[in-house]
């Protein structure tokens, strides 16, 4: 599939998804919103972590930062600009911390990115309490739920389009080289630090923008809600199960997972996290490359037969 | 005399109390085919690391085509035209062989041209190395000997001025080794590169290079024509001894 075909597919898919508010009930639209949001988060996570094999748990931090930008800017900025600002703040934050911690690898990087989320959460909690005298914030002027859906859809589609472009760009090649053998990539001329910081910030931009776009849905936000580590874990889970090396994997996986989560929550309210956890263990043990790896491997064999 | 493409000016590397490389001075000129030999632990690979920016020297300067790059990262060295291979082949295993070669062309080699523009295409480089049939095969599934060749291809992709080869002949059969040596000579002749070749298999190296440097306990103890160096008493004593006599 060429880039042009992929962009046409994206456009058609986007138009179809944009029509959903007229077709679905409120409940189903909320479900669709969750699918689209997680697709956007998983695709943006995979943009950096897929090719480089880094495991970032900072998604919740970027998401929460974006949400707080909306909360702080409520009334001062129009919704669209608040979303853009949320993305930019998250990207700036990612570039800053990325420059400091992206030389770490493996478990160290995962732990420190998780710690970052906690750090930001506590910093904001402290700031709000000490200087603003508040625990949470009420977002009074929230846009219509269909507007929120379209905004989240737009950001997610932009994330997919960006991921497509990155994959076929020199940046994408550099990231794959870094994931395979970072020092080798450097000796072939890749500025590994620059490439990693750029990609990390790019991926954070979309997580932040999605946080900013989603914040208005809650009407009341406080740090535990928007910095919920579950959002970060769920994103990683979706991307890894779908296959973070691929573009389509995380999207399909987001759809399946959001529906599955909702189904399990309704059917087994007490057991759903247990079931989800078991599912993850089985997948990590028996399918570490994600579900997409099944198809990739098969295609590979066929090509060589 | 023209400016050297690569100049090591008193390179010293110290790991704690261990002196791995001891004030080595070396000038490499365009078109030279230079060998570096030395017993295990002589500091050959460590010296290479400093020449390619993988390791910053404790003291001394590394100058590439007139630019002092001491302390800069490997990508800066690559951008200035220093390409290298590693002792154990480090190819991008999941990527097809063709992309492995294309990698250098896309990054370090982007702003330079080879003397021979046929080498500006990844396909041509693979063909030259006899790897044309492997273009679409993931590099990790090639035999170790072919991965070694591919590594040379990756280095050539960066359109280098100087090519650093770290034991490319290790583990090759005699015929393969002969072919590799011919190939390296061919690359040098065709592209006018400087080639610096580290080898443990001394005799091969002595047969193919035009100048040889001997490292012993981190220090340079000889530098010159291979036949003269082989007879140098200090070299014989330090390292060659029986091997040359036999």
3-state secondary structure at position B63: strand
Position B113 confidence tier, pLDDT thresholds 50, 70, 90: low
Query: SS3 for B185?
Result: helix
Name the residue facing A189 among B54, B79, B92 (closest C-beta): B79
Q: Give the number of other Cβ atoms within 10 Å of residue A123's Cβ.
A: 11
In whole angstroms, give the CA distance from residue B6 to residue B213: 15
Is B71 within the bounds of a domain?
Answer: yes
Q: Is B107–A189 a contact, with Cβ atoms under 8 angstroms apart? A: yes
Nearest Cα to A47, choosing from A178, A152, A202? Answer: A202
Alpha-carbon distance values, A304 to A301, B134, B137, B232 (Å): 5, 12, 9, 55
Which residue did the predictor score with more confidence, B114 or A197?
A: A197
- Tell me the C-alpha distance between B77 and B67, whole Å: 10
Instruction: Pick the residue from chain A with its C-alpha nearest to B155.
Output: A188
| Chain A residue numbers touching B53 (CB-CB < 8 A) | 186-187
Give residue A169's pLDDT. Answer: 93
CB-based contacts of A221, cutoff 8 Å, min separation 6: A67, A68, A71, A136, A137, A139, A215
The span from the CA of B175 to the CA of B180, in Å, is 9
Q: What is the reported pTM?
A: 0.89
pLDDT tens across B10-69, in order?
999 999 889 999 999 999 999 999 999 888 888 889 999 999 999 999 999 999 988 999
Beta-carbon separation of B108 and A184 below 8 A: no
The b-or-e profile of A260-296 (16+ CB within 10 A means b, else e) is: ebbebeeeeeeebeeebeeeeeeeeeeeeebbbbeee
- What was the pLDDT predicted at A58? 92
Q: Is the dihedral of CA A193, B59, A187, A243 positive or negative?
A: negative
The pair phi, psi for residue B185, each rounded to 5°, is -60, -40
Would you call B106 and A173 a contact, using CB atoms and an 8 Å cutoff?
yes
pLDDT of the residue at B118: 65
Model pLDDT, residue A300: 45
Give the CATH number of the domain where residue B62 resides.
Answer: 3.40.50.300
The answer to whether the Cβ–Cβ distance between A180 and B95 falls below 8 Å is yes
Closest by Cα among A279, A196, A217, A188 to A63: A217
| Contact at CB, A191 and B92, closer than 8 angstroms | no
Question: Which residue in the set A174, A181, A193 is minimally distant from B90, CB to CB?
Answer: A181
Q: Does a structural domain hold residue B1?
A: no
Q: Yes or no: say if A144 and A33 are a contact pair by the CB < 8 Å rule.
A: no
Range of the domain at B74: 6-245
Q: Can you give the residue ranges of every domain in chain A?
A: 3-232
In a domain, B70, yes or no: yes
pLDDT in tens, chain A (305 residues): 577 888 888 889 998 898 888 998 888 999 999 999 999 999 999 999 999 989 999 999 999 999 999 998 877 889 999 999 999 999 999 999 999 999 888 889 999 999 988 999 999 999 999 988 888 888 877 788 899 999 999 999 999 999 999 999 999 999 999 999 999 999 999 999 999 999 999 999 999 999 999 998 888 889 988 898 888 888 998 998 888 888 899 999 999 988 888 888 888 888 877 887 887 788 778 877 777 777 765 544 444 33
Tokens of B119: 């080498």
Note the pLDDT of residue B116: 63
Contacts of B225 (CB under 8 A, 6+ apart): B210, B211, B212
Percent of chain B at pLDDT exceeding 70: 93
Chain B positions with Cβ closer than 8 Å to A? 52-54, 73-75, 77-79, 83-84, 86, 90-95, 99, 102-104, 106-110, 136, 154-155, 157-158
* Mutate: best of B107, B110, B159, partner A, most A CBs <10 A: B107
pLDDT-wise least confident of A268-277, B111-120, B228-237: B111-120
Report the run of H or E that residue B91 belongs to, with start and end: none
Q: What is the ipTM of this complex?
A: 0.89
Counting the structural domains of chain B, the total is: 1
In chain A, which ranges are continuous DSSP H helix? 3-18, 20-23, 26-52, 59-73, 79-101, 106-127, 145-168, 170-187, 192-218, 223-226, 229-242, 248-267, 272-286, 292-304
pLDDT of residue A242: 86
Q: Give the residue from chain B lying closest to A188, CA to CA.
A: B104
Which three-class secondary structure state does DSSP give residue B200?
coil
Q: Using CA coordinates, name the residue in chain B closest to A194.
A: B75
pLDDT over 80 (residue B190): yes
**Smallest Cβ distance to B54: which of A173, A187, A188?**
A187
Q: Which residues from chain B sit within 8 angstroms of residue A189, using beta carbons?
A: 75, 78-79, 104, 107-110, 158
**Mean of all residue pLDDT scores within chain B:** 87
Write down the pLDDT at residue A86. 96
Tokens of residue A298, six digits: 């098969």
For the residues B174-195, what does the mean pLDDT come to? 87
Nearest chain A residue to B100 by CA distance is A177
Residues A250, A39: contact at Cβ < 8 Å? yes
Interface of A with B (CB under 8 A): 170, 173-174, 176-177, 180-181, 183-193, 303
The SS3 call for residue A190 is coil
Q: Is B108 within 8 Å of A189 when comparing Cβ atoms?
A: yes
């Amino acid at each position: 599939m060429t880039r042009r075909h992929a962009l046409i597919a994206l456009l058609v898919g986007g138009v179809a998804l944009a029509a959903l508010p007229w077709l679905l009930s409120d409940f189903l639209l909320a479900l669709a919103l969750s699918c689209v949001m997680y697709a956007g988060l998983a695709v943006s996570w995979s943009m950096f972590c897929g090719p480089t094999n880094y495991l970032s748990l900072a998604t919740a931090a970027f998401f929460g930062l974006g949400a707080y930008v909306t909360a702080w800017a409520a009334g001062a900025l129009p919704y669209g600009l608040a979303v853009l600002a949320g993305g930019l703040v998250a990207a700036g934050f990612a570039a800053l911390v990325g420059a400091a911690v992206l030389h770490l690898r493996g478990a160290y990087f995962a732990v420190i990115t998780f710690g970052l989320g906690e750090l930001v959460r506590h910093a904001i909690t402290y700031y709000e309490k000490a200087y603003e005298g508040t625990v949470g914030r009420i977002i009074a002027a929230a846009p219509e739920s269909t507007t929120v859906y379209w905004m989240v859809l737009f950001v997610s589609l932009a994330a997919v389009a960006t991921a497509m472009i990155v994959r076929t760009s020199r940046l994408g090649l550099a990231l794959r080289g870094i994931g395979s053998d970072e020092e080798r990539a450097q000796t072939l001329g890749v500025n590994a630090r620059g490439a990693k910081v750029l990609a990390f910030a790019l991926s954070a931009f979309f997580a932040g923008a999605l946080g900013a776009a989603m914040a208005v849905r809650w009407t009341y936000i406080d740090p535990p809600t928007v910095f919920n580590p579950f959002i970060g874990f769920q994103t990683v889970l979706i991307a890894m199960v779908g296959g973070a090396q691929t573009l389509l994997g995380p999207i399909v996986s987001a759809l399946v997972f959001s529906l599955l989560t909702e189904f399990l929550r309704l059917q087994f309210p007490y057991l759903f996290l247990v079931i989800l956890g078991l599912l993850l263990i089985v997948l990590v043990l028996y399918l570490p490359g994600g579900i997409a790896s099944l198809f990739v491997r098969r295609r590979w064999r066929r090509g060589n037969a | 005399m023209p400016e050297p493409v690569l100049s090591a000016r008193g390179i010293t590397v110290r790991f704690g109390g261990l002196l791995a490389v001891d004030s080595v001075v070396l000038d490499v000129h365009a078109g030279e085919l230079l060998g570096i030999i030395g017993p295990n632990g002589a500091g050959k690979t460590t010296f290479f690391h400093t020449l390619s920016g993988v390791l910053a020297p404790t003291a001394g300067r590394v100058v590439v085509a007139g630019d002092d790059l001491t302390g800069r990262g490997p990508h800066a060295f690559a951008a200035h035209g220093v390409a290298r291979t590693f002792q154990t082949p480090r190819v991008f295993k999941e990527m097809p062989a063709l992309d492995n070669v294309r990698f250098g062309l896309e990054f370090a080699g982007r702003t330079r041209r080879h003397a021979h523009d046929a080498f500006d295409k990844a396909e041509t480089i693979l063909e030259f190395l006899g790897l044309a049939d492997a273009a679409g095969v993931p590099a990790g599934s090639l035999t170790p000997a072919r991965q070694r060749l591919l590594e040379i291809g990756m280095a050539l992709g960066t359109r280098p001025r100087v090519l650093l080869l770290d034991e490319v002949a290790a583990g090759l059969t005699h015929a393969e080794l002969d072919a590799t040596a011919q190939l390296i000579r061919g690359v040098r002749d065709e592209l006018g590169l400087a080639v610096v070749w580290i080898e443990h298999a001394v005799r091969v190296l002595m047969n193919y290079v035009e100048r040889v440097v001997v490292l012993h306990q981190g220090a340079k103890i000889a530098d010159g024509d291979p036949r003269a160096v082989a007879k140098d008493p200090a070299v014989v004593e330090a390292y060659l001894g029986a091997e040359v006599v036999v």
